[in-house]
Amino acid sequence: MSRGRRLRSQCDGPVTGTVRRHASDDGAARERRGVTGPVLPALFLVLFLAASGPGTARAASQAFFDTWSDGKGEVDTYDLTEERYGEPRTGNAVMVFVAEELNRNDYVKVESEQTPQSERMFVIKLNKLYRFPTGIYDYSVMTTVFSVADSHLGHHRFQAARLVNTTQEWCGQVFQRVDLHEDGWHHELRSYFEKEADQENVVEATGTDVEDNLWVWIRELDGEVLAEGESRPLQLIPSLWELRKTHTKIAARDARISKGRREKFRTPLGEFDAIPWSWQIEDRTVAVWVEASGAHRILGWEDSQGGHARLVASVRTPYWVAHGNADLEWRTRLALPSESVLETP
């Protein structure tokens, strides 16, 4: 059995037959999701290391691989306040973290044995979703980050290979994508605004990071990346959502990221020992609190524009099979509206 077979359960296409709607993972349920046979983490780790390619400074640890190859995804929900059009908007945010195998050439999800091990890379995928009303109409934002666990194209571990951002509201839709290549970040924009329209350009990637990927990087999923109290300058490309709000061109800016010292942090889910992180990019500041131990979940964040979020629920489950009407109970557990994306008065 290959590691590709093991990870193909992540966000599969249509599932037929009866599926389990709980985190338990018996053999029959795994077979229905395209996973058969016993799990062999050590074997999968060997295959991963063999496929890592040149330039790997340090391979993923056994503990990291065991955690993120368990056939489940992490779903975290938040109470959200987000600034839009100069006013604070109240809604909800969802962050979904899950492991997948990505084709290292075209950055698409591996779904068959046609992709050899040498062309696969192990990534943590983050789907970050905002939902909030702006007056009469709804606003929807989704950013996807594919963060590579290994060193890729000479960059540090847990660097993004691909970013995608889409926004939907009653005026129209906008699509942005940024891919990491040897000659730089390849940026694509498709917009309904006349001044933006269709754009494609390349931005220097050497020595640069992308803000959207920091939400994975600061979780320190496989070891410490900064010491407590440490601060570091960055050349940082702002988040695609920030570029969308400000209608500014993509480019790296001077920034600084800092890791604070452990402190208590309170959320609706309880009080946690947390590590405070912050970064400043031009005149904008973001502060994020990360769980100090255990899963290192994102507990909440604030920004200098009035943005604010706190963790209200968290589950680790194969969410991609919970798509039946009977699975609406999960939305109650996650403190999400059950009948529509946004509740209306």
Condensed to tens digits (0 to 9), the pLDDT of residues 202-216 reads: 999 999 999 999 999
Specify burial of residue 54 (Cβ count, 10 A radius: 0-12, 13-18, 19+): exposed
Please tell me the least confidently modeled range out of 9-18, 104-113, 140-149, 193-202.
9-18
Looking at residue 62, its pLDDT comes to: 86
**Beta-bridge partner residues of 173:** 168
Residues 6+ apart with CB under 8 A from 345: none
Rounded-to-integer distance, Cα 214 and Cα 250, Å: 17
99 vs 153 pLDDT, higher one = 99
Condensed to tens digits (0 to 9), the pLDDT of residues 5-34 reads: 345 445 554 333 322 233 333 333 333 333
pLDDT for residue 172 is more than 60:
yes
Q: Find, among 324, 268, 314, 262, the residue nearest to 289 by Cα.
A: 262
Looking at residue 59, its pLDDT comes to: 74
Residue type, 241: W
- pLDDT range class, residue 339, cuts 50, 70, 90: low
Please give the mean pLDDT across all residues of the chain: 84
pLDDT for residue 46 is more than 50:
no
Average pLDDT for 283-304 = 97
Residue type, 140: S
Looking at residue 20, its pLDDT comes to: 29
**Beta-bridge partner residues of 276:** 289
> C-alpha angle 231/236/241, rounded to 5°?
120
pLDDT for residue 52 is more than 60:
no
pLDDT for residue 56 is more than 80:
no
Condensed to tens digits (0 to 9), the pLDDT of residues 237-272 reads: 999 999 999 989 999 999 999 999 999 999 999 999
pLDDT for residue 50 is more than 50:
no
Average pLDDT for 85-94 = 96
Looking at residue 342, its pLDDT comes to: 46
Rounded-to-integer distance, Cα 255 and Cα 283, Å: 10
Residue type, 337: P
Looking at residue 340, its pLDDT comes to: 52
95 vs 44 pLDDT, higher one = 95
**Alpha helix locations (H) across 51-138?**
62-68
Average pLDDT for 183-201 = 91
Counted residue by residue, the chain has a size of 345
- pLDDT range class, residue 196, cuts 50, 70, 90: confident
Name the percent of the chain lying above pLDDT 70: 81
Average pLDDT for 45-49 = 40
Looking at residue 11, its pLDDT comes to: 57
287 vs 58 pLDDT, higher one = 287
Q: Find, among 64, 128, 143, 140, the residue nearest to 96 by Cα.
A: 128
Average pLDDT for 111-127 = 93
